[in-house]
A and B are shown apart, each in its own frame.
Chain A
Amino acid sequence: MSKMQINITVNGKKQELLAEPRELLIHVLRERLGVTGPHVGCDTSHCGACTVDMDGKSVKACTVFAAQANGADITTIEGLGGPDGLHVLQQMFKEHHGLQCGFCTPGMITRAYRLLQEIPNPSEEEVRFGMAGNLCRCTGYQNIVKAILAAAAELNAAKEAAQ
């Protein structure tokens, strides 16, 4: 099948590549670009392990064709922290034991990142509802919720301090 040119920005870096239109974004990221943070956990759009941030939305990269993503700006877990250290969410997941096997973690944190953009000061209930597109088989979510709430508090405190 013929390939098409795909131009996407991934974690701030412009990427040009040739791909079949049917290739799934998750495979483009993982296999062509070596961005292996997001994972595949289900194939049927239910687990959220593949979650990335695309044009300001949390999306399941297993349910987006490469062709649809052409032109998109994508942030993955790899784009959240910097060379100088972890993003607050990453720190808080570590601090509050919000992960065990780590397989869901990139998708979780990437989703939580967007959630906190939209609801900077969420209640526990809002976190549980807002994270319901991401499955975890290890943690029972309790510490994930705790980590996200802690990250929200930290980010808000930092914002206040900055003002």
Chain B
Amino acid sequence: MNTETIKKEKNTSAKTEHISGAEAIIKCLIAEGVDILYGYPGGAIMPVYDELFKYQGKIHHVLTRHEQGAAHAAQGYARISGRVGVAMATSGPGATNLITGIADAQIDSTPIVCITGQVPSHLLGTDAFQETDIVGISTPVTKWNAQVTKAADIPEVMAKAFYIAKSGRPGPVLVDITKDAQFEEFDFKYEKCTAVRSYNPVPKTDINAVKAAAKLINNAKKPMIVWGQGVILGKAEAELKAVVEKSGVPAAWTILGASALPTSHPLNIGMVGMHGNYAPNKLTNECDVLIAIGMRFDDRVTGSLDTYAKQAKVIHFDIDPAEINKNVKADVAVLGNSKESLALLLSELNTNKHEAWHQEFKDLYAIEYESVIKDDILPEKEGLTMGEVLKEINTHSNGDAAIVSDVGQHQMIACRYAEFNHSKSNITSGGLGTMGFALPAAIGAKMAEPHREVVAIIGDGGYQMNIQELGTIFQQKAAVKIVVLNNEFLGMVRQWQQLFFDKRYASTEMTNPDFVTIAKGYYIDAKRVTKREELADAVKEMMASKSSYFLEVCVEKEDNVFPMIPSGASVSEVRLS
């Protein structure tokens, strides 16, 4: 390691101890404030587990039932708390099982550190038992990764790992540590990393760019904000609220930006994107200034780029210079941390109200309400809808719960209808769309913030992708509320088959097991609801429960999620049916 390339916190009180690499890893984690980590043992990581045994009470290791569960639990932990999540696995299959979670964390900018054991260094490259090139495999899906073959390198690499994972635009880091390095003894001393020479996590905000942005906003007749997770990651919720209120600009959110501004805020105009709200999608193509804050113009947000907001001047606030002009050309780009740049913007903004313009959003909302929302949340047909389940959850959560959704129709319904009073409350796999995310992520979220109500909303398909984590819930007594919206289909794919493949339902129908019995097998209280009359009481009972609870709601089998922007279409072609 070339120590000129990083800066460390001066820690004069840190004393040097002669310990093993394995013990050093635990001490690094504790020094970084890690209270919980998720993982699964195996040969190449056993020395570290042996130390975990000795450090019980100082750091809590959660045995998940699959390494993918460990990675997603670490993500859930990070997403609800803003702290770095940690997952650990053995070499070979243990390490490869982490990859989906790592890829998910990469695309959703989630700070996690994954530690993998590796075969002893003299066996590297020999196709040894459970050897896999996890550094090679994880390179395209990590913010940074490194292999350690000498104990003496552990403190610096770990310090760098935590610093890189959480600074700037956060992301996953993987540290692969050979077994011999875990056994080796050395003089350990830990100093946190404070800077890396080749890495500029937070570009400086240019006040002139802020002024140019403010000028455009102050002169705009029909401005619109679309914010993303950058607001949450930058802890800029208060600044966003102040900007919105002072400027009077209607503000919409991407799926990952949800909850940064309460859903009840009068200027919150809903979600953009494929299944977002009608008004913000339609009016994206009518606004005169589009203010993008900490979002990356994902294709699920923009639809066809050729017809996306062409009439508007675009202002793009982002911490990552590579996002500027990547998908949508910015007329004004403001680099930097959202908290700082929004604070600077605030002082340049005129107080304004855009009542007539705001009314256009309300009018379109009324149309969406009549043709979609009413039937979703107050259905008159016989079958239960996903929307009414969400409405019932809102009634009991009062908007205070964190909603962890999986991927599919139920996810879109959850994000559309869940009410949020607090930031970091919508935990979902946005960029990667990873089925199987919700159950383990909910465990991580609940354990990170035990005082918060955590409700997982999952489809019958995605539930079965990581259903084994019920074992973790049971063992850890994690009071997660699990709602499976069972339509006996891979609903979202079935919807596409219906709309775009002439109803040829190839392999989307599911014959499901008795989910209530399965939950009960894990000693989790469980109930199934098949009729509307039973729903309110069942949700009430679940929400009142102090422990984990499983609720299956058998919903209408062939309901579709609308509004919808068919893929490749323009945001203004958003369909209501």
A binds B: no
Binding site for A on B (CB under 8 A): none
Binding site for B on A (CB under 8 A): none
